[in-house]
Every structure is written in C-alpha cells, then in structure tokens.
Chain A
Amino acid sequence: MPAGHHRLNPCRRKPMSKNFDNDLISRLYRKIRLIRRMEEVVAEIYPSDKIKSPVHLSIGQEAISVAFCDPLRRQDVVSMTYRGHAAFLAKGGSPSGMMAELYGKRDGVAHGIAGSMHLVDMDNGILGASAVVGTTIPVAVGYAMAIKMRGEDRVVVCFLGDGATEEGVFPESLNFAALHGLPILFVCENNGLAIHSPLSNRWAQPDLCRRVEGYGVETHRFEDMDTIVLRAWAAERIEAIRTGASEGPIFAECPTYRWLQHVGPNDDHDQDYRDAGEAAHWRGKDEVARLGDALAPDMRSAIDEEVEAIIAEAVAYAESSPFPQPGELNVGAYA
C-alpha cells in the first residue's frame, strides 16, 4: 500500500455536513475502513507469498460497495466480480473466511478452492464471483427472476465493471431483465479502465446510460463518488424495487478510480498508461478519510481499533487454518 494516503490535500476534500445521522456515518465508516484495511493488509502480506492467488484490489473504489450494500438485508443478494473483496465484506461476508480463502486454507469460504477471484457466501446473500468478465451478469438476472417467480421481496444488486458492459451478455441480460421487470439493480463501477485499456479505446459512445436506456431500463449516472449520496439514492431505489413502487431493473453508473495495479498489490503509476494527476485528484477525495473526518475523533479511533482487531483475528485465523489435504481434491466435484 502506498504510504501517505491519509495525508490528503485538504482543499480538495469537501467536508461532510454534520447534519447526517451519526449512526449512519459510523456504520459506513466501519465498513469502508474494514475493507480498506483488509486490502492494505492483503497487500502487505502479499510479498511473503502466503497468498498465492491473483488479487484484484478495490482500494479507491470501496465506497460504491459500501453504499449499495448498506441498505440491503441479509437475504438480499449481491453479484460481484473477481474484484470482489469490497462487495464481499460490505455485504457481510466473513473477514476471517475471506483471508483464509486467500491463503488457500481449508477454513476459507470455499475451502481454498476459490482463492480471491471466486469469493462466495450464500448465507449472507453473496453469489460466487467469476474470473470470466461478464459471466455473472445473466446469473444475477436469473436469480432475480427466481425471486420474482416465487413472489419474494428480495432484491439483487449486480456489480460490474465498465469493461463488462462490452460483453454480449450485458445487453442480452438488460433486455431480458427489462422485458420481465426483474428486481435487480445493476451497478457499474466505472473506473475508466479494463486492465490498461482506457474507455476511449473501447467505447464509441461514452454515454453508457443512454445506451442502457435504449433497452427500456431506468438509469442514473452519478457525477462523483460520494458514499452518502450513493447510499441515499441506493436506499431509496432498492426500497422502490422491493415494494414494487418501481419495477426493476434499474441501472446506476458510478465513476470511480482504481488506485493500484489491475492485479497485484502495487501502485503502477510508474508504468505510464494512466495519468498521475488523475490519481492525485482521486486520492484527494478519499472516502475513507472523508467519512472518518466526519466522526468525533474518539469514535473514529474506537472504530479503527475495532477494525484492526477484526483483521488481526482474520490473519491469525488464516495462518492457523490447515491446508486441504490432497485426498480432498474430489470433494464437491459433483453435488
């Protein structure tokens, strides 16, 4: 983790209005802080080779997962990508189960089979992630269809990257979800990149929402990544889908920025494929710091301590869990 990300340029950061509910802010801060610190710790551990799994860190992008998962109930469902640590933790996935999974240990959420790219926790409404871009989008739609068929009031939130919108399954899934009025909210985390490829190399029409609207889907494009703003909108629209006040699907495009390399624990701005000024801009409005600053210092440090304890426990759990034994290779190959 690059040092100094908490020492931000103060003039760039909008102070948070003190009118917001302190409970809400402390809840959001606890989550975003947990995610940031978990990933920082993953990055610290990585050079030791204890985590032999490709890790796609979401550092810089966490606010979106936090905001969209906060209004969800445990029975609601998220679908996420291989860049899924943030959504996993935000939806209530176990930090210890995640860390053990990254270590390839038996007590990981998938017993070491999944690694970082396929996190899953069905008890907490987390559909397993796929490393093949876009494949989870229709699966999330199918889950939403089953919810509707069974007359349940659950909602699916489907996270996807900007690159995933280029796969054929994206428009195919949108069309079907719209045709059937399914209870699903698509959340595009637009970090402007697919690995190293900028949007300008991939999209002839940069107005993604306009394309999505063409399928008969309600859309909303956020101008900025502000946890409180995202969360308020998400809460309102998720409830509207749940109660039937609005028919799904709904599509939200959230601008964001990936601070680190596409895969791996390091900064890669030295590789010259993206603009360092942009990085400074985004680091200057870090949502972890911004939410933290909105809390009373003693409350903030109490949360920070709590988070460190959770992470220390997760690391200890991962360290002490055994590896699966070779004889267990076949377990689960068929249901």
Chain B
Amino acid sequence: MTAYKEAVRLGIARAMRADDDVFLFGLDVDDHLGIQGTTLGLAEEFGAKRCFGTPLSEDAMTGVAIGAAMAGMRPIHTHIRMDFLLLCMNQLVNIAAKAHYMFGGQVTVPMVARGIIGKSWGQGAQHSQGLHSLFMHIPGLHVVAPATPQDAMTCMMASVADNNPVVFVEHRLLYNREGPVDISAGASTIGKGRVCREGGDVTIVGISNMLHDALKAAALLEQANVSAEVIDPIWLAPLDMDLITRSVEKTGRLIVADAAWTACGASAEIVAAVAERVPGVQVARIGFAPTPCPTTPSLEKAFYPDAVTICVAAMRLAVPEASIPPFAAMAEDMQQDPVFKGPF
C-alpha cells in the first residue's frame, strides 16, 4: 500500500527520470518538508537545476514556466495551496491556454500547475478553496483531480506528457490515504474516468476527495436498500461524459459531489451536460455551502458536505417517500476518514 502523497512523488520522479526536459519548481519544493512529502528527495535525485525553489512571485513564475515550455521544457509548477493559483490566472488563462491556438500551432505549452485544496484545522477562507471549475471554463486547459494513489501517479505522468497546460488538483486530506500502486503502470489516458462501484438506483459522481465520501455513502445507502453507482471522473477537462451518461441512462438519477462550491462549478457542468443527453434525469449537486470557508470547527462542519449529505440527497431522489435512516450514527461504525492535525 502506498500513500497518495508518495504516489504523487513517484509520478513526478518517474516523469523526471523518463525525460530530462522535465523540471519541478515552485515555493518550498526543495525544503526539508517537501510540499507535505510530495517532493521529498527530488532535489537530491535530480539536482538543483531540475528541482528548485523560487521567490514569492507566482504570477511571473507561471510566465516563466510557459516560456520554458515554449522552448521545449516540461515544467511542473507547484503551489502548496490551490488558492495561490489565483495569482497565476492571467498567465494561465491569457497565455498558456491560448498560445497553441492563437499562435497558429507554432508553439505548445506542456506544463503542469499543481494546486492543493486545503481542508480542516482552520484553513479558513483563503487556504481552502476548490477552484478547479475556473480552469474547466477555459478552452485550452486540461484539469485533472485524481482521488487515489494509483491515479495520482499515472495522472501525473500523463499531465507531464500532455502537450497542453494541465491544472493538477490535489487535496490535503487525500495525502495520507493509502492504496495499491502498480509501479510499472504507464501514464493514464487523458479524459478517461472510472466506475468505482456498480449500482442501479442512483449515479454518484465524486470529485477529488469527495470520491471517498461518495463511496462511503454508497455503502451506507446499501443498508437502506438503495443501490448507488459511484463514478470517479478523474479528469474534469476533458470530462468523460460517455461514461457518466451511460451510468445515468441506467439509473435515471445523478448526484455530483464536489470539493468546491456548486455555483458554476464542476457539479453544475456535469449535471448540465448529462441533462442535455439524458431526458428526464433527476439531479442534485453537493458542494461547499455558498459562503467563504470559516475557520472555527463549529462552522466548518456546516460548511463541508460529507457522506451523510450525499446519502440524504440520494434518498430524496431515489425513494422520496421513505424516511431518512440515521446515516450519521450508521457511519460511526465504518472506517473513519483520516483526520488532520495542525499546525498547518
């Protein structure tokens, strides 16, 4: 079993071993904490020329990545919080996403921008945002949000090999999750999702960390005689709409649970795209409450959805007349989610 954070590290290391043009940079990638372990040892293995920290200049460093990519390199630009990608927005949206098209195919921008969604221990309004849908909105960008260690490794390799700029979405609560990793596996296929659990009553798409809540919800729903199919889209742009559509054609019901807000979010996009393809589908979106994230634990609980939120939504869609079982109490008997303790 391998932890997600180690799998990210393996993905980067394998990409760097395979291609000398790949380099990793960003604030603190070469310090002794190594971006929560995801970059540890890389400076030692590949040297300071290919793994280096930068000044606090995210905007310019994104442009630097783009320029290096145009020159034939394959940069991986790392941000310890996804919120800092907002400083990179102009370069990513106005140059990286458009260069290949706007410049008539004369250049490509094969770069990866990693951003980590923070959660818990009072991350607060500015260290907790899930901003992937902002990037999904932009033609020319790919967006990936792997939820398992295996996908973390293979999607990192696919992102580095991609000739398009890729926003690579990680989630802090995924880092200590363990799973099997086939170290010989190659890069994943861009835009391919996966059915993680089969079921007939309702389709639940779980994005990033919410995949695990979706799986937990499916197990709880089974006890309430509701059979849920759980899908990990893995890639948010391009989306595997064929996979999701096939599932919803079977179940007739769709819930999308995201580690982000719902308005104009990945959940809104998936629901809309399915509604265009499957007439009469019943839908529900689940995400952050529509406020900035509070730091106090008492409000954090109300801000974040979880497996129980998903279960309740599934019951309302699948068996609206039934009373809601005590899912919270039932969930206590299940394996608990990894908890995070500070100071950061």
Q: Please measure, in the bound complex, the distance between the C-alpha atom of A115 and the C-alpha atom of B59, giving whole angstroms.
A: 27
A128 to B173, CA, bound (A): 28
Q: Is B84's beta carbon under 8 Å from chain A? A: yes
* CB < 8 Å neighbour of A196 from B32, B124, B296, B297: B32
Closest Cβ of chain A to B109, distance in Å, is 21
**Contact, CB under 8 Å: A49 / B122:** no
User: What's the A-B contact tally at a CB cutoff of 8 Å?
Assistant: 136
CB-defined contacts of B28 to chain A, threshold 8 Å = 195-197
Contacts of B103 in A (CB 8 A): none
Residue of A49, A201, A333 with most chain B CB atoms under a 10 A cut-off: A201
Bound-state Cα–Cα, A204 to B341, Å: 37
State whether the Cβ of B329 lies closer than 8 Å to any Cβ in chain A. Answer: no
Which residues in window 15-72 of A have CB below 8 A to B?
Answer: 46, 49, 52-55
Across-interface contacts of A206 in B (CB, < 8 A): none
Q: Mark B64-87, 1 if CB is under 8 A from A, else 0.
A: 000000000000000000011011
The answer to whether A264 touches B342, judged by C-beta atoms less than 8 angstroms apart, is yes
In the complex, A203→B55 CA distance in Å? 8
**Is B292 part of the binding interface, using a Cβ–Cβ cutoff of 8 Å?**
yes
Of B56, B125, B342, the most chain A CB neighbours within 10 A belong to: B56
Known: A53-B121, A117-B124, A131-B127. A323 touches B296 (CB 8 A): yes
Identify A53's interface contact among B54, B55, B295, CB under 8 A. Answer: B295
Q: Are B124 and A326 in contact (CB under 8 A)?
A: no
Asked if A114 is at the interface of the complex by the 8 Å CB criterion, the answer is: yes
Number of residues from A at the complex interface, CB < 8 A:
48
Shortest Cβ distance from A322 into B: residue = B298
Q: How far is the CA of A324 from the CA of B295 in the complex (A)?
A: 11
B245 to chain A minimum Cβ distance, whole angstroms, is 35
Cβ of A79 within 8 Å of any chain B Cβ, yes or no, is no
Smallest CB-CB separation from B342: which chain A residue?
Answer: A54
Q: Is B289 an interface residue (CB 8 A)?
A: yes
CB-contacts of A187-238 with B (<8 A): 194-197, 201-203
Residues of A within 8 A of B126 (CB): 117-118, 130-132
- Give the bracket for the number of chain B residues in contact with chain A: 35 or more
Docked Cα-Cα span, A1 to B91, in Å, equals: 43
Within 8 A of A (CB), among B156-206: none
CA distance A273 to B33 in the complex (A): 11
Interface string of B274-304 (1 = CB under 8 A from A): 0000000000000001111011111101110
Measured between beta carbons, the chain B residues less than 8 angstroms from A55 are: 343
Question: Which residue on A lies nearest to B58, using beta carbons?
Answer: A167
The chain B residue with its CB closest to the CB of A82 is B126
User: A196, B56: Cβ atoms under 8 Å?
Assistant: no
Task: Map CB proximity to B onto A77-116 as digits: 1 under 8 Å, 0 otherwise.
Answer: 0000000000000000000000000001100000011111
Kindly state whether residue A265 has any CB partner on chain B within 8 Å. Answer: yes
B299 partner residues in chain A, CB cutoff 8 A: 112-113, 324, 326, 328-329
Q: A323-B296, A325-B298, A326-B298 are in contact. Are A131 and B56 (CB under 8 A)?
A: no
A134 and B56 form a contact (CB under 8 A): yes
For window 289-335 of A, CB contacts with B under 8 Å fall at 323-330, 333
Verify if A133 is at the interface (C-beta below 8 Å from B).
yes
Contacts of B33 in A (CB 8 A): 196
Whether the pair A115, B122 counts as a contact (CB closer than 8 A) is yes
Q: Confirm or deny: A140 has a beta carbon within 8 angstroms of a beta carbon on chain B.
A: no
The residue in A52, A113, A272 that gathers the most chain B C-beta atoms within 10 A of its C-beta is A52
In the complex, chain A residues whose CB is within 8 Å of the CB of B296: 104-105, 112-113, 115, 323-324
Residue of B nearest to A329 (CB): B302
Q: Does B27 contact A (CB under 8 A)?
A: yes
- Decide yes or no whether A151 CB sits under 8 A from chain B: no
* Given A104-B296, A114-B124, CB of A197 within 8 Å of CB of B342: no
- In the complex, whether A248 has a CB less than 8 A from a CB of chain B is no
Q: How far is the CA of A163 from the CA of B28 in the complex (A)?
A: 12
> Is the C-beta of A263 less than 8 angstroms from some C-beta in chain B?
yes
- Beta-carbon contact of B83 and A132 below 8 Å: yes
A326 to B298, alpha carbons, bound, how many Å?
6
Closest CB in chain B relative to A18 CB, distance in Å: 41
Contacts of B343 in A (CB 8 A): 46, 54-55, 261, 263-265
Query: Any chain A CB within 8 A of the CB of B31?
Result: yes
Q: Is the beta-carbon distance between A132 and B32 smaller than 8 angstroms?
A: no
In whole angstroms, how far apart are the Cα atoms of A130 and B127 in the complex?
Answer: 10
- Contact of B223 with A by CB under 8 A: no
B13-47 Cβ-contact flags toward A at 8 Å (1 or 0): 00000000000000110011100000000000000
Tell me the bound Cα distance from A171 to B299 in angstroms: 38
Docked complex Cα distance between A329 and B32 (Å): 38
User: Chain B residue with minimal CB distance to A113?
Assistant: B294
18 A-B contacts, Cβ less than 8 Å apart?
A46-B343, A104-B295, A104-B298, A113-B292, A115-B124, A117-B127, A132-B86, A132-B87, A163-B56, A201-B53, A202-B55, A324-B296, A324-B299, A326-B302, A330-B290, A330-B291, A333-B290, A333-B291
Given A55-B343, A113-B299, 4 new contacts (CB under 8 A): A49-B341, A53-B121, A117-B295, A326-B298
Partner-A contacts on B (CB < 8 A) = 27-28, 31-33, 53-60, 83-84, 86-87, 120-127, 289-292, 294-299, 301-303, 341-344
